[in-house]
Structure 1
Amino acid sequence: MRDSTLSFQTLRGRRLLSEILPAFIHEALTSEDPDAAFTNLDSFAGILSSEESYLDLFVQNESLIQMLVCVFSQSEYLAKNIMKRPEYLELLGHEMFPKKTLLSLRKELKGIISPGLSVAESIRIFKQMEEIRLGFLFLDKKIDVRRLIKELSKVAEAVVSVCLGELATKDGLAVIGFGKFGGRELTFNSDLDLIFVCDTDVTENHIKTAEKLIRLLLSYTQDGMAYSVDTRLRPEGSKGPLVANMRAFEQYYAQSAHFWEFQALLKARPIAGNRETGCVFMEMKNSVLTEKGGGISVQDIKAMRDRIVVELSKEAEGYDIKLGPGGLEELEFTLQYSQLFNARLHNGLLVQGTLDGIKKLTTSGVIDKETADFMRDTYLFYRTVETILKLINEPVLRENSKAALLVSRFMGFNNSDEFVRNLRERRLKVKELFEKLL
Structure 2
Amino acid sequence: MPRIESNAARLAKLGFADAARAERLLAGIGGLPDPVMEVLTEVADPDLALTSLTRIAERAPEAAGIDGRLLRVLGVSDALGEHLVRHPGDLDRLDRPRRNARDELLEAVGAADIQAAEPEALARLRVAYRGRLLALAARDLAGEATFTEVTAELSDLAAAALEAALAIGRAETGADAVRLAVVGMGKCGARELNYISDVDVIFVAEPVEGADEVEALRQGTRLAQAMMRACSAVTAEGALWEVDAGLRPEGNAGPLVRTLASHLAYYRRWAKTWEFQALLKARPVAGDLELGAAYVEETSELVWSAATRENFVEDVQAMRRRVEEHVKREGERQLKLGPGGLRDIEFAVQLLQLVHGRLDPLLRRRGTLPALNALSRGGYIGRDDAKALAEAYTYLRRIEHLLQLHRLRRTHLVPEGEADLRRLGRAFGQYTDPVGEFTRRWKQHAREARRLHEKLFYRPLLQAVARLPESEDRLSPTAAAARLRALGYEDPQGALRHIAALATGVTRRAAIQRTLLPVMLGWFADTPDPDAGLLGFRQVSDKLGTTPWYLRLLRDDTAVAERMAHVLGSSRYATGLLLHAPEAVALLGSGAERRGPAEWAAEAAAAVTRHEEAESAVAAVRSLRRRELFRTAVADLGGELDIEQVGVTLSDLNDVTLQAALDAAIAKVCLERHRRPRFAVIAMGRLGGMECSYASDADVMFVHADGDESEAAFAVANELRRLLALPAPDPPLLIDPDLRPEGRQGPLVRTLASYRAYYARWSSPWESQALLRARFCAGDAALGTEFAAMVDELRYPKGGLPETSVREIRRLKARMEAERLPRGADPALHTKLGRGGLSDVEWVAQLLQLRHASDHPGLRTTRTLQTLRAAVAAGLLDAADEAVLGEAWRFASRIRDAIMLVKGRAGDMVPADGRDRRLIARTLGYPPDGSEDFLDDYRRVTRRARQVVERVFYGD
**TM-score above 0.5:** yes
Q: Secondary structure at the match of 2:224?
A: helix
Q: Secondary structure at the match of 1:391?
A: helix
Amino acid at match of 1:308: H
Does structure 1 residue 190 correspond to structure 2 residue 197? yes
The match for 1:134 among 127, 131, 136 is 136
Among residues 29, 48, 51, which one is paired with 1:36 in the alignment? Answer: 48
- Aligned pair 1:235/2:249, yes or no? yes
Corresponding residue of 2:401:
387
Q: Distance in 2 between matches of 1:323 and 1:246?
A: 33
Deviations 1:72-102 (A, max 9, x none): 222223222222322222323x3465xx6xx
Q: Write the letter of the residue equivalent to 1:427.
A: A
Distance (whole Å) between structure 2 residues aligned to residue 108 and residue 35 of structure 1: 34
Q: Which position in structure 1 is the counterpart of 2:618? A: none
Paired AA for residue 73 in structure 1: G
Contact 1:37 1:72 in 2 (8 A): yes
- Counterpart of 2:253, as a letter, is K
The answer to whether the Cα contact below 8 Å between 2:389 and 2:452 also exists between their aligned partners in 1 is no
**Residue 3 of structure 1: how far off its partner (Å):** 6.5
> Which residue in the other structure is 1:90 paired with?
92
Secondary structure in structure 2 of the residue aligned to 1:57: coil
Residue 343 (1) aligns with residue 319 (2): no
1:429 and 1:211 map into 2 onto residues whose CA distance is: 43
Question: Does structure 1 residue 422 correspond to structure 2 residue 428?
Answer: no
Question: 2:140 touches 2:146 (CA, 8 Å); kept in 1?
Answer: yes
Cα 1:368–1:389 shift into 2, 3 Å: same
Asked if structure 1 preserves the Cα contact closer than 8 Å seen for 2:69 and 2:139, the reply is: no
CA pair 135-96 structure 1, distance change in 2 beyond 3 A: farther
Residues 118-157 of structure 1: CA deviation (Å, up to 9, x unaligned): 4322221111001110111112222132211111111111
Give yes or no for the alignment of 1:431 onto 2:450.
yes
SS in 2 for 1:392: helix
In structure 1, the residue matched to 2:322 is 304
| 1:307 Cα offset (Å) | 2.4
Aligned position for 2:423: 406
Find 2:183's aligned residue among 173, 176, 179.
176
Report the counterpart of residue 125 of structure 1 in structure 2: 127
Q: Secondary structure at the match of 2:30?
A: helix
Corresponding letter in the other structure for 1:40: S
The range that moved more, 67-76 or 111-120, is: 111-120
2:108 aligned partner, one-letter code: I
Deviations 1:351-387 (A, max 9, x none): 2111121122223332222222122222111111111
Preserved CA contact (<8 Å) 1:96 1:133:
no
| Residues 369 and 75 (structure 1), Cα distance of their counterparts in 2 relative to 1, 3 Å cut | same
Partner SS for 1:55: coil
Q: What secondary structure sits across from 2:183 in the alignment?
A: strand
Mean Cα deviation higher: 366-375 or 148-157: 366-375
Q: Which amino acid aligns with 2:298?
A: M
Aligned to 2:229: 215
AA partner of residue 105 (structure 1): A
Query: Hey, what's the Cα distance between the residues in 1 that align with 2:423 and 2:194?
Result: 18
Distance of 2:412 and 2:393 partners within structure 1: 18
3-state SS in 2 of match to 1:56:
coil
Q: Aligned in 2, Cα 1:3/1:196: closer, same or farther, shift over 3 Å?
A: same
2:373 maps to 1:359: yes
Contact 1:178 1:265 in 2 (8 A): yes
Note closer, same or farther for the CA distance 1:360–1:352 as it changes in structure 2 (3 Å cut): same
Separation (CA, whole Å) in 2 of partners of 1:141 and 1:95: 18
2:61 alignment partner, SS class: helix
Equivalent position SS for 1:18 = coil
Q: Aligned in 2, Cα 1:395/1:383: closer, same or farther, shift over 3 Å? A: closer
Aligned partners of 1:327, 1:336: CA distance in 2, in Å? 15
- Tell me, in whole angstroms, the C-alpha distance in 2 between the residues paired with 1:304 and 1:421: 28
SS in 2 for 1:184: coil
Q: What is the aligned counterpart of 1:55 among 61, 73, 77?
A: 61
Residues 395 and 39 (structure 1 numbering): CA distance in 2 closer, same or farther, change over 3 Å?
farther
Give me the whole-angstrom Cα distance separating, in 2, the residues matched to 1:309 and 1:96: 44
- Report the AA paired with residue 56 of structure 1: E
Residues in 2 aligned to 1:117 and 1:235: alpha-carbon distance in whole angstroms: 32
Judging changes above 3 Å, is the alpha-carbon distance between structure 1 residues 35 and 289 closer, same or farther for their aligned structure 2 residues? same
Task: Answer yes or no: is 1:248 the counterpart of 2:262.
Answer: yes
Q: Which residue of 1 aligns with 2:627?
A: none
Assess if the C-alpha contact under 8 Å between 1:286 and 1:350 holds in 2. Answer: no
Contact 1:289 1:343 in 2 (8 A): no
Name the aligned partner's letter for residue 300 of structure 1: A
For the residues of structure 2 that align with 1:342 and 1:117, how far apart are their CA atoms? 49
Q: Offset at 1:223?
A: 0.7
1:10 — aligned with what? Answer: none
State the distance in 2 between where 1:87 and 1:211 align: 33
The residue number in structure 1 matching 2:82 is: 80
Letter in 1 for 2:452: L
Q: CA deviation at 1:29?
A: 4.3
Note if contact 1:293-1:343 (Cα within 8 Å) is conserved in structure 2: no
Q: CA deviation at 1:170?
A: 7.0
Query: Cα distance 1:400–1:220, how it changes in 2: closer, same or farther (>3 A)?
Result: closer
Match of 2:353, SS?
helix
Q: Residue type of the partner of 2:178?
A: D
The change in CA–CA distance for 1:370 and 1:347 in structure 2 (over 3 A counts) is same
* Matched residue, 1:327: 341
Question: Aligned in 2, Cα 1:263/1:254: closer, same or farther, shift over 3 Å?
Answer: same
Deviates more, 1:365-374 or 1:394-403: 394-403
Q: Secondary structure at the match of 2:184?
A: strand
TM-score (norm 2): 0.40
Number of positions where the alignment pairs a residue of Structure 1 with one of Structure 2: 409
Report the TM-score when normalising by structure 1.
0.84
Distance 1:331 1:29, change over 3 A: closer
Give the 3-state SS of the residue equivalent to 1:325 in structure 2: coil
Q: Is the 8 A contact 2:392 2:448 kept in 1?
A: no
Whether the 8 Å contact between 2:181 and 2:286 is mirrored in structure 1 is yes
CA distance in 2, matches of 1:27, 1:371: 37
Residue 248 of structure 1, CA deviation: 2.1
Partners of 1:90 and 1:276 lie apart in 2 by 36
Unaligned residue ranges in structure 1 (runs of 5+): 7-13
**Whole-angstrom distance in 1 between the partners of 2:139 and 2:448:** 31
Larger RCO (CA within 8 A; separation ≥ 6): 1
Q: Deviations over 1:11-64 (max 9, x none)?
A: xxx9xx43768887665445432222233345x15xx54x4xx22224xx3x43
Residue matched to 1:9: none
Quote the Cα distance in structure 1 between the aligned partners of 2:197 and 2:453: 26
SS at match of 2:181: strand
Distance in 2 of aligned mates of 1:255 and 1:309 = 31
Distance 1:400 1:111, change over 3 A: closer
| Structure 2 contact 108–124 (Cα < 8 Å) conserved | yes
Q: What CA distance in whole angstroms lies between the structure 2 residues aligned with 1:121 and 1:418? A: 41
Identity of aligned residues (%): 29
Deviation at 1:425, TM superposition (A): 2.8
Q: Alpha carbons of 1:55 and 1:24: their partners in 2 closer, same or farther (altered >3 Å)?
A: farther
- Which residue number corresponds to residue 105 of structure 2? 109
Mind listing any 5+ residue stretches in structure 2 that lack a counterpart?
1-21, 208-212, 458-956
Distance 2:80 2:289 in 1: 35
Check conservation: 2:336, 2:343, Cα contact below 8 A: yes
Q: Distance in 1 between matches of 2:73 and 2:97?
A: 15
Task: Determine if contact 1:262/1:293 at 8 Å carries over to the other structure.
Answer: no
Q: Would you say the 8 A contact 1:174–1:273 is kept in 2? A: yes
Q: Secondary structure at the match of 1:189?
A: coil
Is 2:48–2:74's contact at 8 Å kept on the other side of the alignment? yes
